[in-house]
Structure 1
Amino acid sequence: MNKARSFTLALVVAAAENGVIGRDGKLPWRLKGDLKRFRKLTMGHPLIMGSKTFASIGKPLDGRDSIVLTRDPAAISPQPCLFTATSMANAIDLARARAEERGVAGAFVIGGAEIFAIALPFVDRIHLARVHASPSGDAYWRTPPEEEWLVVSREEWPASESDEFSVTDLTLERSSRA
């Protein structure tokens, strides 16, 4: 019996204690360990992002499909593993198709702030790296209502030579009460 694989849409965000996620189109910290965890988590999966996030990365991430949510698809130069969508529904449909083609069960929304807000109603899981700092910034993550999410895992990472601040990795799943 061939059972259809269920699709999971997850959000991946690193946010400081004050909600900052970015400054001048860049991350406001140096956290090599978090970048390694991000790569391991998302490898092989489709990624949904906004055009500003794509511009800050500069290219599709290796081993993953990049789906850029944009009002102007013509502004994105065609490249292998790069797709555009003009609505979140279109981006999710494309991510679902790409995930099925890749043989994986889900996709990740990776930013920025505007895209996180648009995607949140569709997301089943949140991978939140809570950065223990309060840097200045111009892009913010709004923590979703606590009663809608359950913490299903927590892992602490200390500051180190390659990680400017300590981080608490949280995995949240949508509560059945929501």
Structure 2
Amino acid sequence: MISFVVAMDENRLIGAAGDLPWRLPNDLAHFKKTTMGAPIVMGRKTYESIGRPLPGRRNIVITRNPTFQAEGIEVLTDFDHVDEWQQSEEEFFVIGGAEIFQQFLPYVERMYITVIHETFKGDTYFPDVLDDWVVVDEQKGIIDEKNVHEHTFLTYERKK
């Protein structure tokens, strides 16, 4: 199965100059809990913004650059494995960026979305696709001195 994990603001903003436009430790903890032990799939730009493989997960980077390499990751230059991942009992988590989300959209069955209930300035947006999905789980995030932005953790599944 292929799933998305993404955080966005009220306008579907997911990035600003290669980084997150907010600081929200609760979301990072949610991301870690959701993806730990599973394969994560990302584009090269997302990998480079993280700067290292994420521990405890199989890190797969998709890039058009056939010579791209980095220690601790698997590099793919095509989408030949998508059907295999889609049929797998194992959940593959696509974590960005925008171009990778767009390319994987036809194959995704579930989306874990953190909505930050504010608007930020940035340059990278998640596709406008939520009309084709239904919320199957919703949890309000806790606001405290480290997590000052109101947020909700949503799980979507594709409408049948």
Q: TM-score, normalised on structure 1?
A: 0.83
Write 1 or 2 for the structure with the bigger share of helix.
Answer: 1
Q: Quick one: which amino acid aligns to residue 57 of structure 1?
A: I
Structure 2 residue corresponding to 1:50, chosen from 43, 52, 56: 43
Q: Determine the structure 1 residue equivalent to 2:19.
A: 26
User: Does the alignment pair 1:89 with 2:74?
Assistant: no
Describe the SS at the equivalent of 2:8.
strand
> Is the contact made by 2:39 and 2:57 (CA closer than 8 Å) also made in structure 1?
yes
Cα gap change, 1:143 to 1:160, in 2 (>3 Å): farther
Q: Deviations over 1:125-168 (max 9, x none)?
A: 0001011110000111123141x211101111143211131111
Determine the C-alpha separation between the residues in 1 that align with 2:142 and 2:28: 15
Q: Determine the structure 2 residue equivalent to 1:157.
A: 141
Describe the SS at the equivalent of 1:39.
helix
Describe the SS at the equivalent of 1:75.
coil
Describe the SS at the equivalent of 1:87.
coil
Structure 2 residue corresponding to 1:122, chosen from 107, 112, 118: 107
Q: Determine the structure 2 residue equivalent to 1:69.
A: 62
Alignment root-mean-square deviation, CA: 1.9
Determine the C-alpha separation between the residues in 1 that align with 2:31 and 2:64: 27
Among all aligned residue pairs of Structure 1 and Structure 2, give the percentage whose two residues are the same amino acid.
41
Describe the SS at the equivalent of 2:129.
coil
Cα gap change, 1:16 to 1:44, in 2 (>3 Å): same
Q: Quick one: which amino acid aligns to residue 44 of structure 1?
A: G
Q: TM-score, normalised on structure 2?
A: 0.92
Q: Determine the structure 2 residue equivalent to 1:166.
A: 150
Q: Quick one: which amino acid aligns to residue 102 of structure 2?
A: A
Structure 1 residue corresponding to 2:117, chosen from 132, 156, 176: 132
Q: Determine the structure 1 residue equivalent to 2:33.
A: 40
Determine the C-alpha separation between the residues in 2 that align with 1:171 and 1:143: 16
Cα gap change, 1:36 to 1:71, in 2 (>3 Å): same
Describe the SS at the equivalent of 2:153.
strand
